[in-house]
Amino acid sequence: MKIAIGNDHAGTAYKKALVNYLKHQNITTNNHGTDSEDSVDYPDFVHPVAKEVEDKKVDFGIIICGSGNGAAMTANKHQDVRAALCWNAEIAELARKHNNANVLSIPARYVSEDEALEMLKVFLSTEFEAGRHERRVEKIACK
């Protein structure tokens, strides 16, 4: 499995913790985020993640900013990207099961690192249910 990850200054510590976890799971990561806590513009770090998901160069994306909103809005501009802003493991599970989300957006200022890690674990281990949800997901993109 291969995952692209991007973050702004609010998500630097979270990214480091998540990448460390993924490394121990033998999951390859492409780091598109800042490694600094100096203020940066989140779109500069989110667009490369979304582009890799859009181009199917990675299996999933993880994006992290203060609220998670700006990152999700940015990623969702890309075709076939379904970025889900999640604030707990249950929402992360439903985003995968019902929406076939392929990008996890984490609000670093509103969840703990432990909560972010739990969301990631659930996100990666949950399969899309398809069925009645598939036709809904097919209606999301503007093509």
Instruction: Please determine, for residue 131, whether its predicted confidence score (pLDDT) is greater than 90.
Output: no
pTM value is 0.95
Determine whether the annotation assigns residue 70 to a binding site. Answer: yes
For residue range 13-55, list pLDDT tens digits in order.
999 999 999 999 999 999 999 999 999 999 999 999 999 999 9
Question: 119 and 68 in contact (C-beta within 8 Å)?
Answer: no
Cα separation of 54 and 14, whole Å? 24
**Domains recognised in the chain with CATH numbers:** 2-138 (3.40.1400.10)
Q: Please give the positions annotated as active site.
A: 65, 98
Q: Which two tokens stand for residue 121?
A: 């674990």
Cα separation of 139 and 136, whole Å? 5
Provide the pLDDT for residue 129.
86
Q: How would residue 143 be classed by pLDDT, with cut points 50, 70 and 90? A: low
Cα separation of 102 and 61, whole Å? 6
Determine whether the annotation assigns residue 8 to a binding site. Answer: yes
